[in-house]
């Protein structure tokens, strides 16, 4: 599914600006609304998966919805139609997100969760750089035919649905004999303690610094990168992300996870500063590579923090709430990034990101305890 999605998403900001005449603010709003939609949907799918004690049906529904909405992109001829396509696609992502993460946590021993979520991020990201690479190749071969590339992206989406249908199994959760309790109740939510909410709060502030990756593509365009080669930005980012996520996840199982997360947040500060100062394509690619290394060090590790801080029978709900709040902040981040880009320029967008990352770093070192010395 990542191959399919990233073939489209790696070209979509440039398509919006170059073909449909959208502004950077419009791109930010579309991306922010789309991702916020996915995050809101994750709450409901996580709650339902906890109550039903089944994860796979929601995985199949989510991947199926994403596949069915892919043909809307090549047919889109207005900003409203693109927004509709992104909205429906992200609902599918939201439906599958929390149940998938809960399932990964359930089939993994706690002392290997860093490696497991790191591996999941790496495997996701292989598709995330293969998609832009294929998109760039097809753009060159088709003389920048955006719509043809979008049609071809439908094929891997259908393959992904088949993989979920025939290749995914889940443990039997009915065997516990415990009565079903609807998770969204005061007594149940009280079981999500202060550690969980501190993790969610810090992740949300970090999201303000890590606005939509559409702005990485626009940054490349702003220094003269041709439209056909814009996906190279996501290729570089996701190669670094894929290579780093699993080994850093394994490292997190051996070291103090808080300190490793702090290093990852620090990398985002540096990445934003490099992108703010960038005046050439190589400089943008250097900042994008640092951005990818930050993702490898933080995204799987944040999922581990959430899994460790959440009771097993509320794990879908916990991941749903985590994704809801970070999604709301992503909408705010992408909107602010678009406003700053339009009113001041690209430099202001990335300097603001660096400032929010620094705030997160201070909060992480202050509010989250490190590993106790033995």
Of the listed ranges 12-21, 33-42, 131-140, 170-179, the one predicted with least confidence: 170-179
Q: Is the pLDDT of residue 63 over 50?
A: yes
**pLDDT of 372 higher than 70:** no
The answer to whether residues 100 and 59 touch, using CB atoms and an 8 Å cutoff, is yes
* Measured distance CA(357)–CA(365) in Å, rounded: 12
Express each pLDDT in 142-191 by its tens digit: 888 888 998 999 999 999 898 888 888 877 655 445 555 555 566 666 77
Residue in 183, 195, 196, 167 with CA at minimum distance from that of residue 56: 167
pLDDT at position 174, please? 54
Average pLDDT over residues 205-227: 83
Percent of the chain with pLDDT over 70: 90
For tokens 């089944």, the residue is 54
pLDDT band at 43 (very low <50, low <70, confident <90, very high): low
| Rg over CA atoms, the chain | 20
**Would you say 292 and 244 are in contact if contact means Cβ atoms under 8 Å apart?**
yes
Most confident of 43-47, 145-149, 208-212: 145-149
Contact 40, 94 (CB under 8 A): yes
pLDDT tens digit sequence for 218-274: 888 888 887 777 778 878 888 898 888 888 888 888 888 888 899 999 999 999 999
- What pLDDT is recorded for position 285? 92
Q: Which residue ranges make up each domain of the chain?
A: 2-170+185-367
Please write down the HEC assignment for all residues of the chain.
CHHHHHHHHCCHHHHHHHCCCCCHHHHHHHHHHHHHHHHHHHHHHHHHHHHHCCCHHHHHHHHHHHHHHCCHHHHCCCHHHHHHHHHHHHHHHHHHHHHHHHHHHHCCCHHHHHHHHHHHHHHHHHHHHHHHHHHHHHHHHCCCCHHHHHHHCHHHHHHHHHHHHHHCCCCCCHHHCCCCCCCCCHHHHCCCCHHHHHHHHHHHHHHHHCCCCHHHHHHHHHCCCCHHHCCHHHHHHHHHHHHHHHHHHHHHCCCCHHHHHHHHHHHHHHHHHHHHHCCCHHHHHHHHHHHHHHHHHHHHHHHHHHHHCCCHHHHHHHHHHHHHHHHHHHHHHHHHHHHHHHHCCHHHHHHHHHHHHHHHHHHHHHHCCCCCCC
Contact yes or no for 286/270 (Cβ under 8 A): no
Q: Supply the CATH classification number for the domain 2-170+185-367.
A: 1.20.1250.20
The confidence score (pLDDT) of residue 373 equals 40
Q: What mean pLDDT is reported for the chain? A: 81
Q: Using one digit for the tens of pLDDT, what is the confidence trace for 91-103?
A: 888 788 778 888 8
Instruction: Pick the range with the lowest mean pLDDT from 26-40, 76-90, 102-116, 330-344.
Output: 26-40
d(CA 120, CA 250): 12
pTM exceeding the 0.85 threshold for the entire prediction: no
- C-alpha–C-alpha distance, residues 185 and 204, integer Å: 23
Selection from 100-109, 214-223, 263-272, 299-308 with the highest mean pLDDT: 263-272
Q: How far apart are CA 36 and CA 91, in angstroms?
A: 9
Residue with tokens 């706690």: 110
- pLDDT score recorded for residue 289: 93
Which pLDDT does position 143 carry in this prediction?
82
pLDDT at 36: 67
């Amino acid at each position: 599914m990542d191959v399919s999605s990233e073939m489209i998403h790696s070209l979509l900001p440039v398509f919006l600006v170059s073909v449909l005449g959208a502004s950077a603010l419009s791109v930010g709003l579309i991306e922010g609304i789309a991702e916020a939609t996915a995050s809101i949907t994750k709450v409901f799918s996580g709650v339902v998966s906890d109550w039903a004690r089944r994860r796979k049906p929601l995985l199949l529904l989510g991947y199926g919805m994403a596949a069915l909405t892919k043909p809307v992109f090549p047919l889109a001829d207005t900003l409203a139609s693109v927004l509709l396509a992104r909205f429906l696609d992200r609902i599918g992502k939201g439906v599958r997100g929390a149940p998938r993460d809960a399932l990964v946590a359930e089939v993994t021993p706690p002392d290997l969760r860093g490696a497991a979520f790191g591996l999941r991020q790496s495997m996701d990201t292989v598709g995330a750089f293969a998609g832009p690479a294929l998109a760039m190749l097809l753009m060159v071969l088709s003389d920048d035919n955006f719509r043809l590339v979008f049609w071809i992206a439908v094929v891997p989406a259908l393959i992904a649905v088949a993989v979920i249908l025939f290749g995914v199994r889940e443990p039997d959760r009915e065997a516990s004999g415990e009565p079903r309790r609807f998770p969204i109740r005061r007594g149940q939510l009280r079981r999500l303690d202060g550690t969980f909410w501190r993790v969610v709060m810090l992740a949300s502030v970090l999201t303000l610094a890590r606005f939509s990756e559409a702005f990485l593509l626009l940054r490349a365009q702003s220094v003269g990168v041709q439209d056909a080669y814009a996906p190279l930005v996501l290729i570089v980012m996701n190669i670094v992300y894929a290579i780093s996520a699993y080994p850093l996840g394994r490292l997190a199982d051996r070291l103090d996870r808080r300190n490793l997360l702090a290093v990852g947040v620090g990398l985002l500060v540096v990445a934003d500063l490099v992108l703010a100062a960038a005046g050439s394509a190589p400089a943008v690619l250097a900042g994008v590579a640092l951005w990818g290394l930050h993702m490898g060090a933080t995204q799987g590790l944040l999922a581990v923090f959430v899994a460790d801080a959440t009771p097993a029978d509320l794990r879908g709900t916990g991941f749903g709430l985590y994704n809801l709040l970070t999604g709301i902040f992503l909408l705010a981040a992408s909107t602010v990034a678009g406003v700053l880009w339009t009113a001041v320029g690209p430099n202001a967008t990335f300097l603001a990101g660096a400032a929010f990352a620094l705030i997160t770093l201070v909060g992480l070192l202050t509010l989250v305890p490190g590993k106790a010395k033995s």
